């Protein structure tokens, strides 16, 4: 029995765990992978106050702080089988956890293009994490699909090691911060293709390139690259929720139209409409998703729990 079960060990979950531990609550921090979350997949984070630069330094500091508390038990590589929100039970392949409160901090996951050739080339030239797989393409030509902050920042990171980086964006402009766009415009080995859609990824055992056209389907062109990094957005990464009102495949009053968990914004407690269940970080329905906003959610939820347990 724990006071608080936290599902997800990213910045939001880590912050919530630390705040709960400081209130003398017994915490189980559960993650399907490594504790550290999405920052483990980024090349660098330049806007975290006091620690600009590589995410390795940032995550190391998170873990160093987390490990100071004996009343936080960390469980890594625990694949969630179901979460029973009625009885506050989390079942994994190897363990069953029971708590008084549950915090869902499972974040979000990359969206796929869903074009021919993508699925069969995952790990064979198609990637969703530049920090993980970018070094495989030193001095080679790659494409980044997407024009938001993540896509543009990863493109700049890849440009430092790759021969050339093509940035392919469906809309008529890049949607990143202006400072990032300026950096791209001043980087000689990057090329931006706007109003462009990917039709197909082709190759044999490995990616050989992609076919693209303008948004109305005209002017189809083959672009020969060896690596393709897809950054077209994220979708909520929910565990399997077992609840008497849960309808598989249907959204209800607990979710927004994109499938993110809604919370009582008026009270600013990050509590969902399920009593004693909280949603924090990128899994929560909100406007902005940044490391620092995720950590703010974690602090808010933990403070509310500590006063109501």
| Residue of 94, 132, 252, 264 marked active site | 132
CA nearest neighbour of 13 among 266, 263, 283: 283
270 classed as catalytic? no
133 classed as catalytic? yes
CA nearest neighbour of 18 among 309, 301, 308, 269: 301
64 contacts: CB under 8 Å, gap ≥ 6? none
20 classed as catalytic? no
- Active-site residue set: 129, 132-133
């Amino acid at each position: 029995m724990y006071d608080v079960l936290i599902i997800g060990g990213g910045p939001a979950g880590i912050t919530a765990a630390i705040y709960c531990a400081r209130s003398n609550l017994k915490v189980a921090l559960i993650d399907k992978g490594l504790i550290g979350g999405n920052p483990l997949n980024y090349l660098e984070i330049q806007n975290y106050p006091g620690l600009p630069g590589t995410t390795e330094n940032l995550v190391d500091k998170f873990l160093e702080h987390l490990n100071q508390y004996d009343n936080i038990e960390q469980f890594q590589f625990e694949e969630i089988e179901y979460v029973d929100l009625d009885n506050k039970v989390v079942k994994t392949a190897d363990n069953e956890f029971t708590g008084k409160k549950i915090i869902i901090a499972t974040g979000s996951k990359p969206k796929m293009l869903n074009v021919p050739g993508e699925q069969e080339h995952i790990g064979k030239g198609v990637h969703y994490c530049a920090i993980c797989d970018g070094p495989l393409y030193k001095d080679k030509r790659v494409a980044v699909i997407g024009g938001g902050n993540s896509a543009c920042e990863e493109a700049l990171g890849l440009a430092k090691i790759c021969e050339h980086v093509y940035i392919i964006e469906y809309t008529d402009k890049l949607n990143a911060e202006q400072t990032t766009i300026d950096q791209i415009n001043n980087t000689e080995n990057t090329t931006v293709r706007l109003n462009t859609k990917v039709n197909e990824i082709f190759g044999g055992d490995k990616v050989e390139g992609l076919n693209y056209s303008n948004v109305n389907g005209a002017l189809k062109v083959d672009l020969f690259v060896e690596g393709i990094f897809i950054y077209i957005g994220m979708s909520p990464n929910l565990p399997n929720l077992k609840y008497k009102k849960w309808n598989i495949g249907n959204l209800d009053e607990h979710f927004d139209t994109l499938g993110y968990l809604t919370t009582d914004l008026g009270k600013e407690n990050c509590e969902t409409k399920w009593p004693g269940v909280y949603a924090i970080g990128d899994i929560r329905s909100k406007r902005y998703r940044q490391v620092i906003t995720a950590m703010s959610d974690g602090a808010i939820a933990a403070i509310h729990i500590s006063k109501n347990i």
